[in-house]
Structure 1
Amino acid sequence: MGKLLKKIAIVFRKEWCDALRDSKSLRMALLMPVYFVGVFVASSLFIIHMSNQSKATNNEPIKLAVVGAEQLPSLIDWLQERGVQVDAVGDDAYQKVESGQLGYALIVPKDAREKFATGESIELALVFDATNGKLQGAVHFVRQQIWSWNGRMGSLRLLSRGISPGIANPVFIRDLNIASDEKMGFFVMASLPMLLILTAFMASVGFSADMTAGERERRSLESLLITPTSSTALVLGKWCNSFSLTLIVLLVEVTLLVAAFAYVPFKELGLRVDVSPVELAGVFVVLASLALLATALQFLISLFARSFKDAQTYMAAMVFIPMVPLFYTLVNPSAYADWFRWVPVLGHQVLIKDLLLGGTITATHFAQLWLVSGVAACGFLSYTIQQLRKPKIVYGV
């Protein structure tokens, strides 16, 4: 056992020297966390900017062009009391909205006054262009106020006839949001677990491909195999190098996230994103278990590639593996089952979310991920060791 560890250490040092000489690949690997954290910070700042812009827009009075405003003075008064600036326009309002001269308009029929007096229903027409996203907020507000006025008038009509309004409205809904500010803040960070998991899968892709398919293409793998070093020592030494590089990249990313959480002004969104360095350290432990599995899978895939370029192509396809469960949880954010924690990638994402949201976490949750990742990594590495000395792998025949 001691001799095996010594040989693994020799291979590990040799691969580290090669990695340090390949400054371009090393630089690209270390730039990855900078890029991903930069994307997270930029997207968060963009959301904050759009929120501030929306608040500034909401403070401006909403202008509503109305045809036949004199037919329903009570509705017009109701809208004006709620900050809507009503402008009376002619009968060509529909054409003006169609041509873009008006954003939207409310058309009140000419017989609205008589129908309102007799208690009949009135059909109002709210004309707008649904493809114009800038108007959706104003149109929604106007529609909501019309419905509020409609409910109020209906209740008054029932009361005038001695009927309780509760008969027409047997149920009222009151929203009680129990989500804490931290949980609401996670909506801003929805992409963060995906970026972290992608880093674990992509950090050492180039190095893993070079240490297997690259060496076989350069015919240097043959010279390694004729040495007294066993296949186990060769594979484990190379894998330890790839795993350690991934850990360094992940450590850089988590360190940058500590600074990012201190810098991004989430309070401007009315949210409290309270992620401490201790919780981010827990995230690093979770990602380390994922790196265990990811690097072993990289070695297995690149071993069967005919060239370094083929290995890179296969690695690019491998990135889609973590995307499947990630997209599933993005489409179904409420989906959760206990067995999720036993599924690689999916379980990692669940635990990362719990850490960022301040959920209940136990040591068992970490042990589950390390057990699953460790078993999968051992399986991948064992198969890689078995295949390493086969002529098909060494000579590509």
Structure 2
Amino acid sequence: MNKFIQTLLIVWRKEWLDALRDKKSLRMAFLMPVYFVGVFVAYSLFIIHMNQQSRATNNEPIKLSIVGTEQLPALVDWLQERGIQVEAADEQAYQQVQNGQLGYALIVPNDAREKFATGESIELALVFDATNNKLQGALQFVRQQIWSWNGRIGSLRLLSRGISPAIVNPVVVRDLNVASDQKMGFFVMAILPMLLILTVFMAAVGFSADMTAGERERRSLESLLITPAASGAILLGKWLNSLSLTFMVIVVELTLLAIAFAYVPFKELGLRVHVTPLDLLVVLVALMSLAIVATALQFLISLFARSFKDAQTYMGLMIFIPMVPLFYTQFNPSAYADWFRWVPVLAQQLVVKDLLLGGDVPLLAFAQAWLVAVILAVAFLCFTAQQLRKPKIVYGV
């Protein structure tokens, strides 16, 4: 057993020396967390910028051009009471909106006064250009005020006929948002679980491919296997190299995230994003359970590649493995089942999501994630160690 461990440590040290010599690949591995954190910061700042623009737009007075203001003076008065600056427009309002001279306009038909007096329905036309996104906030506010006036007039007409307005409105919905600032902040940080999990799968891809398919292509793997060293010790030494490199890359990414959380102005969104170093440490523990599976799978896939280039191609396709569940939960945020915690990637995503939401993660969730990860990693590594002694694998024939 001592000889097995000694061989493992020698291989691990040898692979680390080779990795340190390959400065280009090492630099690319550690640039990945910088790039991913940069994407997250840029994404957050973009949302903050758009929110600030929306606030600036909402603070400006809303101007509404109306054709036929004399037809519905009650509606005009209602809109003015709500802070909308009403301006009379002529019959050319439709063409002016079409030509870009006006942002939007409300057209009241010529028979609106008579229909309103007799209680008939009136069709108003709100003309606008849907491609102008800057007007969406103002248009939504104008629609809401028209519908409010519509409901008010309808209720008054029912009361004048001795009918309770509750008959046509049996249900009134009142929105009560119980989400805390931590939960609201997750909408900004929804991209984080995907970036963290992708880092786990991508951090040591090049090194894993070089230690298996690359060495076989250079015929150095054959020289290593003819020694009396156990195949399992050789494989574990190489695997620990990829695992330790993945660990270091994740630590760098979480450190950069801690800095980003301290300086990105989430308060501009009215959000209180508070992720403590302890939370990031727990995220690291959860991600390392996925790292042992990801690195073991990298060795298994690259071992069956004929060359280093083929191994990189195959492991590039491996990235789609975590992408499928990540996209499924991204577009179905309410989707949840108890068996999710027994599935790699999904289990880690749930843990990271709960931590970023400020929730408590039960120890059972960690136990489930680590149990499944250890079983899969051992299975992948044992199968890979068995293949190392086969001539077809070693010689690539």
Tell whether the structures are fold-level matches, with TM greater than 0.5.
yes
TM-score under structure 2 normalisation?
Answer: 0.98
Note the C-alpha offset of 1:162: 2.1
2:91 corresponds to which residue? 91
Amino acid at match of 1:104: Y
SS of 1:295's partner is helix
Note the C-alpha offset of 1:157: 1.2
Note the C-alpha offset of 1:73: 0.7
1:362 corresponds to which residue? 362
Note the C-alpha offset of 1:131: 2.5
Structure 1 CA distance for aligned equivalents of residues 54 and 338 of structure 2: 40
Structure 2 CA distance for aligned equivalents of residues 292 and 183 of structure 1: 30
Structure 2 CA distance for aligned equivalents of residues 29 and 337 of structure 1: 35
Q: For 1:335-359, what per-residue CA distance to the aligned partner results, in whole angstroms no more than 9, with x for missing partners?
A: 1111100000011101111111122
2:246 corresponds to which residue? 246
Q: For 1:176-228, what per-residue CA distance to the aligned partner results, in whole angstroms no more than 9, with x for missing partners?
A: 11111100110000000000000000000110010011111111111111111
1:148 corresponds to which residue? 148
SS of 1:71's partner is coil
Note the C-alpha offset of 1:141: 1.1
What value does the CA root-mean-square deviation take over the aligned residues?
1.0
2:322 corresponds to which residue? 322
2:74 corresponds to which residue? 74
1:181 corresponds to which residue? 181
Structure 2 CA distance for aligned equivalents of residues 62 and 216 of structure 1: 70
SS of 1:85's partner is strand
Note the C-alpha offset of 1:129: 2.0
Does residue 279 (structure 1) correspond to residue 279 (structure 2)? The answer is yes
1:126 corresponds to which residue? 126
SS of 2:344's partner is coil
Structure 1 residues 85-94 or 64-73, which shifts more? 85-94
Q: For 1:360-388, what per-residue CA distance to the aligned partner results, in whole angstroms no more than 9, with x for missing partners?
A: 32211111111111111111111111111
SS of 2:257's partner is helix
2:15 corresponds to which residue? 15
Query: Identity rate of aligned residues, in percent?
Result: 76
Structure 1 CA distance for aligned equivalents of residues 250 and 201 of structure 2: 10
2:376 corresponds to which residue? 376
SS of 1:91's partner is coil
Amino acid at match of 1:92: Q
Structure 2 CA distance for aligned equivalents of residues 233 and 315 of structure 1: 23
1:349 corresponds to which residue? 349
Note the C-alpha offset of 1:329: 0.3
1:307 corresponds to which residue? 307
Structure 2 CA distance for aligned equivalents of residues 360 and 202 of structure 1: 28
Structure 2 CA distance for aligned equivalents of residues 44 and 164 of structure 1: 49
2:171 corresponds to which residue? 171
1:255 corresponds to which residue? 255
Runs of 4+ in 1 over 6 A off after TM superposition: none
Note the C-alpha offset of 1:323: 0.3
Amino acid at match of 2:126: L
1:294 corresponds to which residue? 294
Does residue 268 (structure 1) correspond to residue 258 (structure 2)? The answer is no
SS of 2:187's partner is coil
Structure 2 CA distance for aligned equivalents of residues 136 and 391 of structure 1: 67
Note the C-alpha offset of 1:44: 0.6
- Give ranges in structure 1 of 5+ residues lacking alignment: none
Structure 2 CA distance for aligned equivalents of residues 259 and 97 of structure 1: 48
2:58 corresponds to which residue? 58
SS of 1:70's partner is coil
Structure 1 CA distance for aligned equivalents of residues 289 and 243 of structure 2: 10
Q: For 1:89-116, what per-residue CA distance to the aligned partner results, in whole angstroms no more than 9, with x for missing partners?
A: 1112222222222221111000101111
TM-score under structure 1 normalisation?
Answer: 0.98
SS of 1:123's partner is coil
How many residues in Structure 1 have an aligned counterpart in Structure 2?
A: 397
C-alpha contact 2:54 2:137 (8 A) present in aligned 1: no
Note the C-alpha offset of 1:396: 1.1
Structure 1 residues 320-329 or 72-81, which shifts more? 72-81
Structure 1 CA distance for aligned equivalents of residues 138 and 236 of structure 2: 62
Amino acid at match of 2:111: D
Amino acid at match of 1:259: I
- Give ranges in structure 2 of 5+ residues lacking alignment: none
2:214 corresponds to which residue? 214
SS of 1:281's partner is helix
Structure 1 residues 150-159 or 123-132, which shifts more? 123-132
Note the C-alpha offset of 1:15: 0.4
